[in-house]
Amino acid sequence: MKKIILTLAALAMFIGSPAWAQTEPQPRSRGFAFGKWIEVHNAILRELHRSYVDSLEVDRIEREAVDAMLEALDPYTVYVPEEEQEDFRRMLTSTYGGIGAIIYKPDINGNVIINEPYAGSPAALAGLTCGDEIETIDGLSTHGLKSGEASEKMRGKPGTTVVFKVKKLRGGPSWKAGETIEVPVVRQRIVLPSVEYADMLNERDGYVLLGKFTDGVGQEVREAFLKLKEKGMQRFVLDLRGNGGGLLGEAVNIVSLFVPKGTLVVSSKGRRIGTEYKTTADPVDTEIPIVVLVDSASASASEIVSGALQDYDRATIIGTRTYGKGLVQTIRPLPYSGQLKLTTAKYYTPSGRCVQAIDYSHRNEDGSVGHIPDSLTHEFTTSGGRTVRDGGGITPDFEVKGKRYSRLTYSLVLSGIVEQYTLHFVRNHASIPPVDDFHFTEYDDFVAFAADKEFDYRSSARALFDDMKKSLEEDGLTEAVSQELSALEKSLDMDKETFLRLKKDEIIPFIEEEIVARYYFQEPAIRVRLRYDTQLKEALTKPSI
């Protein structure tokens, strides 16, 4: 009845209006558009529910509709339903309740294999090692379980016990190699380290590899920095390569270690409000030279740290231009225990630069910001008078590119061939020499192993040739250039073993790192990675700003 009265009243107003008012289009407010589309959406859903020819999967089509709507805004505004919040929370905090091990499931009808327990984890303390096969989890056979399903069975509330039936790779205090035993493991709160590595690189340079910005990481970096100073550090290297960001407050805490108290680190500006974030603690060192390493995967909080230290001429930024994610996300509650991670503002460095890429919907294949003409950017000035620009990400003071790997090497890693070979190696070697003395010398064995596996071993040139050949076939031109195609194809052909041997020097470091992680855990494995890090070695030759 109320709706009818409102409709009649609106009609009466229209009839009683002068002629000029009837021809003058009235502006439609943002509220009108919002209300209109809510009505349209509800009407469509009602009609589908009432009349659609097949059964209607409401949950699926609504989720797809919500995801598509949010994707049209920016890549970081997302809907998180109740059933996905544990994974979302784990991503934000890098913590979960479980046993602390990476597993491998080569065959859905086979056992779960312990691939890599974390140092000091419940799995490691219970004696689970790389190569052990889990046959049951709390009495449930692992046969038929997918890897993710097995992982979920292992996770649980800290303090609870999960019992595995394990086929042991090697003998132990009370079991023989190959024997199946029961192994109870008490779950704990697993905290994946944010400071992944901290040590001296040489007599002068202290080094910290920071993987993400999680709660408390500012204090971890502080402690690592002070320990490095005790070892005689004269220059501090903070490695943010591959660091996709995290908590804004922790980025502020890390900058506060190196600049005076009360210094502006970053500001955010949204539709309704702007906020400034300043350091609130006394620094630990305002003089030591700092090198910050970045690349195209350094994003968000990584860009806040590198941008602020660059703007104050407090650090030398080295590497390649960062990702360009300068958007602030806020978590809002939704009905039925859902959440909306919503972009509410943009970040700005102390000099006024916006970190966000001008066009975040179009990027290079590796996710990095594409070329931006200077005419589309603006100049800003650091504390020391140097010119810096906005337009997307942080441009380093010295560009030093990382090592480029062949398509074959990427394929070996991404297809899991290196990981599978590592398990093969562990099964056949009870131990390896100490980390600094270990060098992988069984490459012929790896070639034989990999040659027997199915993976895409084409070179980049051969992959391009195959794409070109397909296009020629679609255009009906294959016959016209058949002789040239045959000659080119023959020159590009290379058998799997020959190609593997050709790329030996770039493949071996990946194998060494994986093997060392299985015997000595992650930190020593990172030391192996640094052994071959040409980008880091070149960065250390650059002068300080």
**Residues recognised as catalytic:** 300, 311, 325
Residue 452 identity (one-letter amino acid): D
**Nearest residue to 162 (alpha-carbon basis) of 177, 142, 144, 192:** 142
Exposed/middle/buried for 342, CB within 10 Å: 0-12, 13-18, 19+? middle
CA distance 279 to 309: 13
Secondary structure of residue 199 in the 3-state scheme = strand
Q: Could you tell me if residue 356 is left (phi over 0), alpha (psi between -120 and 50 degrees) or otherwise beta?
A: beta
Secondary structure of residue 250 in the 3-state scheme = helix
What are the C-alpha distances in Å from 518 to residues 118, 124, 310, 428? Answer: 9, 11, 38, 13
Residue 432 identity (one-letter amino acid): I
Reported as type and span, the H/E element at residue 157 is none
Place of tokens 């995967």: 297
Place of tokens 């060494």: 512
| 232-266: burial string, b at 16+ Cβ within 10 Å, e else | ebebbbbbbbbbbbbbbebbbbbbbbbbeeebbbb
Residue 166 identity (one-letter amino acid): V
Residue 299 identity (one-letter amino acid): A
Q: DSSP for 322-370?
A: -----EEEEEEE-GGG-EEEEEEEEEE-TTS-B-S-S-TT---TTS---
What are the C-alpha distances in Å from 280 to residues 231, 257, 356? Answer: 28, 10, 26
Written as six digits, the tokens of 543 are 């002068």
The answer to whether residues 346 and 356 touch, using CB atoms and an 8 Å cutoff, is yes
Q: Are strands 235-239 and 264-270 parallel, antiparallel or unpaired?
A: unpaired
CA distance 503 to 453: 17
CA distance 440 to 438: 7
User: Could you give the angle at the alpha carbon of 450 between the alpha carbons of 446 and 451, nearest 5°?
Assistant: 115
Q: DSSP for 272-322?
A: S-EEEEE--S--S-SSS-EEEEE-TT--THHHHHHHHHHHTT-SEEEES--
